[in-house]
Amino acid sequence: MEKKLTAIDLFSGAGGLHLGFEESGYDVKLCIDNNDLVEKTHKRNFPHIPMINGDIRDVTVDQIRQYLGGESLDVVIGGPPCQGFSTIGHRASSDPNKRYAHDSRNELVLVYANLIKELKPKFIVMENVKGILTLDKGAYLDNVMKTLHEAGYNAEYKLINMADYGVPEIRNRVIIIGNRVGLPVSFPEPDHSDNPEDNLPGWTDCGSVLSDLVNMPDNPAFNHVALKHTEKNIERYKLIPQGGRLPEDKLPPELYRKNFGNTFKRLDPNRPALTMVPGNDAFPIHPTLHRSLTVREAARIQTFPDWVIFEGNRRQQGHQVGNAVPPLFSHKLGDFIKKQIEKAKELGIYECD
C-alpha cells in the first residue's frame, strides 16, 4: 500500500481546507488554531487529528515536528484569519511605522510564511480574502510573496472564484501555491463556468442543495435553527424578489429604515449563492422562505457534509461556516497538488533538502 502524503493545517478553523485534503487521501498530522469553540468543533468532527489550540506565534517548529513522527512534510495548508483586511469594514495597515496597529491578525499571514521557512514542506497552499490584493496598494502581499521566495519557494497567487469549481456560491478568494522542488507553479483548471462558450458544466445553483431542507423543522443538533425575525422584517423580506434586494425606494413609510445590507438580499435558486460571510446576521435571505439562511443551509452552500456539526451558539457557528474554505474546492485542490507531486517524483526532483 502506497504511503499517504503528509500535511498539516495552520489556522484550521472549522476544517474546510483539511477536510478536502483528507478526502483526497492525505494524512493530516496536525491542526493548529487559537479558538476554544473551534477546538470543540474539531474534536467533535475530527478526533483522529491532533490539534494545538493556541496562538501560533507561540508554537515552535520543534513542537510541530513532534506530531510528524520523523516523517517528511509534503504539504502545509492554511487560511490565516482574514478579517484584519477584509473588504468588508475597515482595513488595517501594515505600514512598518504603524504595523498592525489596528489589527494584529494581519501579522499572522507573515507568521505563516515564516513558519514555512523553517518547516520546509515540499508544497504550500494558503487561502485568503480578495482584500489582501490591495492592502497597502499591494505592498503587503508583495512582502508575503518575498518571504516565501526567500525561503526557496516558487510561489504564485491567483484570485479564484469557487463557483468555477462546482461550489454553489460566488466566492472569490486568493489562493497561493508554492513548491521548493523546482516545478513551475500552476493552478487547477476550472471545471465549471457561467460562459457556455467554455464548454464546461454550468455553475451549480444553490437551490439544488437547499431544497430538501425547506420543510425541515428546527433541529439544533443539526445546526438548523431559523432566526426569529420581527414581523416588520418579515414584511420586508416578502418584497424581495429572487436574486434581488429590498427595493428601498418603493417601501411604504412603516417599513423604511437606513442601512439595508446583505441580510436584505434574496438568493436566486437557479444561481450560485452570494458569498457566505461570517455572522448570523449577514447570511442572505432564503430563495423561497421569508427568513435568512440557517447555519446548516449556509454549510450546505459551503459544501460541508451534513455530518460536520458546528459547536457554539448560532452566531459562533455562523462565523465558523463563513470563514471556512469550501471542502469541495479543497478536495480538488488536494487532487491537483497530488498530481504535481507525482510529476515531481517522475522527474526525480521531489527529494530535496
Q: How far apart are CA 22 and CA 49, in angstroms?
A: 10
Q: Is the pLDDT of residue 235 over 90?
A: yes
pLDDT band at 79 (very low <50, low <70, confident <90, very high): confident
**What is the CATH topology of the domain spanning 207-323?**
DNA Methylase; Chain A, domain 2 (3.90.120)
Average pLDDT in the chain: 90
Q: How far apart are CA 23 and CA 331, in angstroms?
A: 6
Find where cell 442543495 sits. Answer: 209
Res 211: pLDDT: 97
Q: Is the pLDDT of residue 112 over 50?
A: yes
| Mean pLDDT comparison of 111-115, 132-136, 237-241, highest-scoring range | 237-241
Could you list the beta-strand ranges (E) of the chain: 6-10, 27-33, 51-53, 75-78, 123-129, 154-161, 172-179
Question: H/E element holding 159?
Answer: strand 154-161
Q: Is the pLDDT of residue 195 over 70?
A: yes
Segments making up each domain of the chain, as ranges: 6-183+326-346, 207-323
Q: Which pLDDT tens digit goes with each residue over 165-185?
A: 999 999 999 999 999 999 999
Res 88: pLDDT: 39
Provide the grid cell at 169: 456560491
Q: How far apart are CA 30 and CA 32, in angstroms?
A: 7
pLDDT average, residue stretch 113-128? 93
Q: How far apart are CA 310 and CA 195, in angstroms?
A: 35
- Same topology between domain 6-183+326-346 and domain 207-323: no
Q: Which pLDDT tens digit goes with each residue over 135-161?
A: 888 888 998 899 899 999 999 999 999
**Angle (CA) 191 196 197, round 5°:** 95
**What is the CATH topology of the domain spanning 6-183+326-346?**
Rossmann fold (3.40.50)
Which of 31, 82, 206, 352 is an active site residue?
82
pLDDT average, residue stretch 81-106? 46
Q: How far apart are CA 350 and CA 338, in angstroms?
A: 12
**In angstroms, how far is CA 43 from the centroid of its own chain?**
19
Tell me, yes or no, if 82 is annotated catalytic: yes
Q: How far apart are CA 75 and CA 190, in angstroms?
A: 22
